[in-house]
Amino acid sequence: MRKHECDCRSRKELKQGTRRRYEAQWGGYDIRKANERRLNNSPVADPLLRMILPFTGKTMVDLGVGTGGFAFRAMEFSAPERMIGVDFSSHALQISRAIARTEPFAAMDFEAVLGDVERIPIASRSADIILSQASFNLLPDKESGLKEMARIAKPGAKLLLSDVFRTKRKCEGESWEACVGGALTVAEFSTATLSAGIIITQQTDFTQKVLQLVKSKKWDWPEFVEHKLDYRGFVMQKA
């Protein structure tokens, strides 16, 4: 995979910066704000989740779960056997655990795990479905992230990834923390998934939907407009 030229800072520093930024962001959240965010993101999350329903009997893992914008939305549609949310922000996990104790989630199995998506603390071949919303673009080492996804997926497992993609060929000094510089192009992503043994089966362009959400102030993301980014949803399968 192409190495990113952005910012010339080491991957470790980039990751630490991202973690600090999200600890600060989620530190200002509570259950109400997280539930509101989940609802605001639903025009993008819902069509994707509907593509692979139902989740009954499935072990699902949400990578970069945050406060559960994708995971709890999935659980609202259909209760899985188990949902494991992984994130390196302890504030995010605190809020997601609190949401898991509220209705209708209290009767479901949700576990929040502190960990790095580039080294997922989950056993190999254990997930039936892997979710990832707006977090893959933040990984400094996307190759490791994809390899890890493939490792924890059972053979034939489905992967649902919703994320931002760069339309410009080159990074132009955008910061990774602003959720911009780290994004791949769709072509780069397609090559990288194939090398990790992951096959894309469906692709949906959500760019117009995200632009509407930003315009209606439901999604606070001025960089998305400024840098003319794309937003795509992918249904994928482990080979």
Count other Cβ atoms within 10 Å, centred on residue 34: 21
> ∠47-33-87 over CA atoms, to 5°?
70
Residue of 134, 159, 184, 236 that binds ligand SAM (CB under 6 A): 134
Specify the stretch interacting with ligand SAM by CB under 6 A; choose among 2-10, 94-102, 127-135, 203-211.
Answer: 127-135
Closest contact distance (angstroms) between CB of 78 and ligand SAM is: 18
From 4, 6, 18, 83, residue interacting with ligand SAM (rule: CB under 6 A): 18
Which H or E element spans position 13? helix 11-27
Q: At what angle do helices 11-27 and 90-100 cross, to 10 degrees?
A: 40
Nearer to ligand SAM by Cβ, of 22 and 110: the residue is 22
Q: Answer yes or no whether residue 193 interacts with ligand SAM by CB under 6 A.
A: no
Q: Per rule CB under 6 A, is residue 133 in the interface with ligand SAM?
A: yes
According to the binding rule CB under 6 A, does residue 163 interact with ligand SAM?
A: no
Q: Does 88 bind ligand SAM (CB under 6 A)?
A: yes
Contact call for residue 69 and ligand SAM (CB under 6 A): yes
- Are 58 and 80 spatial neighbours (Cβ–Cβ below 8 Å)? yes
Alpha carbon distance, N-terminus to C-terminus of the chain: 20
Nearer to ligand SAM, 34 or 169 (CB): 34
In the bound state with ligand SAM, the residue whose beta carbon lies nearer, of 127 and 138, is 138
Tell whether residue 118 is a contact of ligand SAM (CB under 6 A): yes
Q: Work out which of 22, 55, 206, 221 binds ligand SAM, going by CB under 6 A.
A: 22
Long-range pairs for 217-224 at CB < 8 Å and ≥24 separation?
Answer: 218/40, 219/40, 219/41, 221/179, 223/174, 223/178, 223/179, 223/180, 224/164
Q: Please name every residue paired with 198 in a beta bridge, in sequence order, or none if there are none.
A: 238
* Residue 194: C-alpha distances to residues 143, 183, 189, 199, 239 (Å): 11, 17, 9, 6, 9
Applying CB under 6 A, does 96 fall inside the site for ligand SAM?
no
Residues binding ligand SAM (CB under 6 A): 15, 18, 22, 41, 64-66, 69-70, 87-89, 92, 116-118, 133-135, 138-139
